[in-house]
């Protein structure tokens, strides 16, 4: 599997999104996504854009190395703004809450 397809699958799995849901959220036919992954076919730029939207990321975020943040979405910017306004003890509570949500989502 090529880098782009591997990255799609890695992000999809990390977010706990099924292939069916990704296709639905990306507004592409499920057969398009399945055939692309099955046949190791590169998506067109417009299809990759739709897949990124379905994954809730930008294309810039898709191509940046893991752990590096670039070109945040409006929702991510809002979260960071709220985060920055919290005192340290509240930030620790938020982290605990998010870790709990993550554990419950497994």
Q: What is the CATH number of domain 3-63?
A: 1.10.260.40
pLDDT at 86 over 90: no
Q: Which two tokens stand for residue 70?
A: 């670039």
Average confidence score pLDDT of the chain: 89
Domain ranges of the chain: 3-63, 74-104
Alpha-carbon distance of 75 to 34, in angstroms, equals: 29
Query: Sign of the C-alpha dihedral, residues 61, 66, 72, 73?
Result: positive
pLDDT at 70 over 80: no
pLDDT digits (tens, 9 = 90+) for 18-38: 999 999 999 999 999 999 999
Percent of the chain at pLDDT > 90 equals 56
């Amino acid at each position: 599997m090529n880098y782009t397809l591997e990255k799609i699958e890695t992000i999809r799995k990390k977010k706990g999104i099924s292939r069916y849901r990704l296709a639905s959220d990306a507004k592409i036919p499920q057969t398009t996504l399945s055939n692309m992954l099955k046949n190791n076919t590169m998506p067109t730029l417009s299809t990759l854009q739709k897949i990124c939207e379905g994954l809730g990321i930008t294309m810039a975020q898709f191509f940046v190395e893991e752990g590096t943040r670039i070109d945040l979405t409006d929702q991510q910017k809002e979260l960071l703004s709220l985060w920055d306004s919290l005192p340290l003890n509240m930030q620790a509570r938020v982290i605990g809450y998010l870790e709990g949500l993550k554990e419950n989502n497994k």
